[in-house]
Amino acid sequence: MDSESSQIIRVKSNNILFLLAEILLLVLKIVYYICEDVYRLIVPPKKKNVAGEIVLVTGAGHGIGKELAIGYALLGATVVCWDKNEENTNQTMDDIKKMGLDSVHAYRCNVADREEVFRVAEKVKKEVGDVTILINNAGVGIAKLLLNQSFDDIERVIDVNLKAHYWTLRAFLPNMIEKNHGHVVAISSIAGLFGSSYGTVYCATKSSIKTMMEAVSEELRALSNGKSSV
């Protein structure tokens, strides 16, 4: 057997060994995750206590935002409701107070307006305190074909669904980083996982939220050398 044939055999043997090692590693991972899931079923993780946290929910005037505001209030958090519609956000606050829960505040805020976000954020800090849980829930969807959407339609969806996240993060994230305590939640949509007709703008904004939050998470990890609690 010549040296070239021996080398080919060695390469093939190494490839087989690497393949077997990869298969073994995959099997071990599968077993590990199955065991972990079974353990979590038997011993579920302890739920986080949000009592005393200051939770700000955008788009709290109706829908998911209102339900989130009510839910956090029932868990003992101080809730700050933001919505462009002042009547709706006041109604959410009143509904919570009717439950005997007084730690709730309502502010009119158009999250698409950068200056208004920073202005109302300062008001919240002075009147309520530092927000420790930020829930970017406000969103708008316009179901039209791309060529049927006006420029104003396109800008409105992008401003509310995407740009507003940057404004609220810039307003509240620095304090969380300083205190190394806080949570940021971004409400996206299954529509952000794939494109569809009538969703050329909406789908794009919801998809962008996912990657934006992943990037923010990586930045926090890098800035704190992996020790960030935000």
Catalytic residue among 32, 33, 198, 202: 202
Residue 13 to residue 15: CA distance in whole angstroms: 5
**b (16+ CB within 10 A) / e for 186-216:** bbbbebbeeeeeebbbbbbbbbbbeebbeeb
Catalytic residue flag (residue 72) = no
Q: Quick one: CA torsion of 67, 69, 74, 80, rounded to 10 degrees?
A: -170
Query: 138 and 164 in contact (C-beta within 8 Å)?
Result: yes
Contacts of 181 (CB under 8 A, 6+ apart): 132, 229, 230
Residue appearing with tokens 């940057």: 166
Amino acid at 209: I
Q: Nearest-CA neighbor of 134 among 189, 71, 188, 79?
A: 79
Q: Nearest-CA neighbor of 58 among 93, 85, 91, 83?
A: 83
Q: Which residues, in sequence order, are bridge partners of residue 83?
A: 108
Which residues are the active-site residues? 202
